[in-house]
């Protein structure tokens, strides 16, 4: 059922408020209109394009900065960060991330996004991956957006920090990983990886 313009714009505003990382293409499918209509609606509502929304969300949500590595070494774009708690990054899969013959993303890019996010969430100058257990759930193809969410879940028996990462494409899980992170201030002082 198509909505009239006023109803569509009200729902569009609510949808973007709830999921600021949604693309114009996804909105067009959701509301059964063209991408151009979505862009015009956004302009009338003074809603910036996706890239600007991402930057805005990141600016407003970051209370702290990444300590364990330079921000430009994180694979993907961090859009949320609470050190030692949680983090979110976005990676748009482009031509340079895929195999040329089948347009499927190379796994090391998906892993690198998750691993670098696990490092970035650690509130320490030194954070290294001591161990990881990963699962690829499905292939990711060129043009898809991977949203990785890292959550610090506690410590292991050696005092190393455990970070769980789940990567999704349009709310479908494509990758999961559990990363055991060594840090310079491990609670038990065990410097052995």
Q: What percentage of the chain carries pLDDT values higher than 90?
A: 53
Secondary structure percentages of the chain, helix, strand, coil, to 5: 35, 30, 35
More confident position, 103 or 124: 103
Q: Which domains does the chain have, with CATH numbers?
A: 5-53 (1.10.10.10), 62-183 (3.10.129.10)
Residue 48: per-residue pLDDT = 81
Kindly report the pTM of this predicted structure: 0.68
Residue 115: per-residue pLDDT = 96
Mean pLDDT of the chain: 86
Q: Which residues contact 93 (CB under 8 A, 6 or more apart)?
A: 105, 109, 140, 141, 142, 143, 144, 145, 146
Cα–Cα distance measured from residue 71 to residue 69, given in angstroms and rounded to the nearest whole number: 6
Confidence band, pLDDT 50/70/90 cuts, at residue 2:
confident
pLDDT tens profile 3-32: 888 999 999 999 888 887 788 888 999 999
E strands along 26-171, which residues?
A: 77-82, 86-92, 127-136, 145-155, 161-169
pLDDT tens profile 163-192: 999 999 999 999 999 999 998 866 444 444
Cα–Cα distance measured from residue 70 to residue 165, given in angstroms and rounded to the nearest whole number: 20
Residue length of the chain: 193
Over range 145-158, report the average pLDDT. Answer: 92
Cα–Cα distance measured from residue 66 to residue 116, given in angstroms and rounded to the nearest whole number: 11
Q: Is 170 exposed, middle or buried (0-12, 13-18, 19+ CB in 10 A)?
A: exposed
- Give the Å distances, CA to CA, from 160 to 10, 63, 114, 127, 171: 47, 24, 18, 10, 30
More confident position, 14 or 60: 14
E strands along 41-118, which residues?
A: 77-82, 86-92
Q: Which uninterrupted H or E stretch holds 184?
A: none
Cα–Cα distance measured from residue 75 to residue 179, given in angstroms and rounded to the nearest whole number: 16
DSSP 3-state of 34: coil
């Amino acid at each position: 059922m198509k909505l009239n313009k006023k109803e569509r714009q009200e729902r569009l505003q609510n949808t973007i408020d709830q999921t600021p990382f949604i693309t114009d293409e996804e909105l067009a499918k959701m509301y059964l209109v063209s991408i151009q209509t979505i862009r015009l609606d956004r302009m009338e509502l003074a809603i910036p394009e996706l890239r600007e929304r991402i930057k805005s969300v990141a600016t407003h949500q970051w209370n702290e900065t990444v300590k364990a590595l330079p921000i430009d070494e994180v694979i993907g774009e961090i859009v949320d960060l609470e050190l030692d708690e949680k983090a979110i990054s976005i990676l748009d899969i482009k031509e340079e991330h895929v195999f040329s013959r089948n347009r499927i993303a190379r796994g090391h890019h998906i892993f690198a996004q998750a691993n670098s996010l696990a490092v970035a969430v650690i509130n320490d100058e030194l954070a290294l991956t001591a161990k990881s257990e990963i699962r690829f759930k499905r292939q990711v193809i060129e043009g898809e957006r991977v949203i990785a969410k890292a959550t610090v879940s506690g410590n292991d028996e050696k005092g190393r920090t455990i970070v769980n990462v789940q990567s999704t494409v349009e709310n479908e899980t494509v990758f999961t990983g559990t990363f055991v992170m060594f840090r310079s201030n491990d609670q038990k002082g065990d410097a052995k990886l």
